[in-house]
Chain A
Amino acid sequence: MPDQPRFDPGSTVRVKSLTPPGHVRTPWFTRGKNGVVVQLLGTFGNPEDLAYGGNGEPRRPLYRVSFRQSALWPDYDGAETDTLVADIYEHWLEPEG
């Protein structure tokens, strides 16, 4: 049984700054960056296990996390309100602040 999802919409989170070997679906440019949880999408098999023939258990909560573009790219030259939303598994997130 998956644990209760750890983050509520609106929570500020930080993507863990990890560089594990193997198949990972956390984009490099989000690692170590702060974002805000937009929505819980449900729980899904862990892709880091599924990629190597595992059963994906335990399933992981998956969130849509919104980042300010200016937080991702120091030299971002679009509007200050521009954002990027990525889908991140819970084990890649830690509370911020």
Chain B
Amino acid sequence: MSHDPAGSHDHPHPRQPDIEDGPLTHHMALTEAVAALLQKKGVITGEELRRTLEDIDSRSPADGARVVARAWVDPAYRERLLEDVNTAAAELGIDTGNIPIRAVESTDTVHQLVVCTLCSCYPRMLIGLPPDWYKARAYRSRAVREPRAVLREFGLTLPDHVEVRVHDSTADMRYLVLPRRPGGTQGWSEERLAAIVTRDCMVGTAVPVATGG
């Protein structure tokens, strides 16, 4: 489809490079080669690979928000969530795979914040793919060094009597923040509660706010 039906398109447009215009890095080449070999040798099919990618991409913060909202209304579920997120999520029909996820609970005296300084470990199977800033060097280096300044830039200023507890997911665990249920939400349904639990609330760069009529 052309946006220039008259054919008089003689001026140059600034060019937005395509992804493939950059050089193929070592790891990109390796990924392509391994994926091709696995299919050629019959270990996986292209359809299985596609379905797996689609499954990963279909994860979203809404899944995590359902889990948080349930924990807010059901104290026994909250206990199970703090014990083992994967099992608790499965109760709600959410399959989070085999990487263990643990919940850390923010209270009126502790604010939890999650980072992965070494790469970009993130509970993807529960809240979807991480935002670009989570993977950026600025967040990864500053969240451990000056977390309060980082939180202020996210619009969250915490008083000194609240401990800021930063979790660096350096190894085999992924961390989910169980945020505090905000005041003014008494009697809300689980669905309504889940709607105020955003992605950032589950990373710890924001706190849920009672909004909506």
Contacts and interface: CB of A to CB of B under 8 A. Distances in A.
Interface of A: 25-27, 29, 41-42, 44, 47, 62, 69, 72-73, 76-79, 81-89
The 10 closest A-B pairs by CB, nearest first: A87-B171, A81-B163, A86-B168, A79-B160, A84-B166, A78-B148, A44-B172, A82-B164, A87-B170, A85-B167
Contact of B118 (A25, A77, A78): A25
B106 interface: no
Given A77-B146, A78-B147, A84-B144, A26 B170 contact: yes
B43 to A, nearest CB: 17
Contact of A29 (B144, B162, B169, B171): B144
Interface residues of B, number: 23
B136 interface: no
A88 B149 CA distance: 26
B96 interface: no
A51 B162 CA distance: 39
Chain A interface mostly: mixed
Contacts of B161: 79
B165 interface: yes
Contacts of A76: 146
Q: Could you say which of B102, B163, B170 has the most chain A C-beta atoms within 10 Å of its C-beta?
A: B170
A82 B146 CA distance: 10
Contacts of A69: 147, 164, 166
Interface string B152-179: 0000000011111111111111000000
Nearest to B164: A82
A47 to B, nearest CB: 7
A94 B5 CA distance: 73
B117 interface: yes
A85 B172 contact: no
A62 B100 CA distance: 13
Given A27-B118, A29-B144, A84-B144, A78 B164 contact: yes
A24 to B, nearest CB: 9
B168 A27 contact: yes
Given A41-B102, A78-B148, A83-B166, 11 more contacts: A25-B171, A29-B144, A41-B172, A69-B164, A78-B147, A79-B161, A81-B163, A82-B163, A82-B166, A86-B167, A87-B168
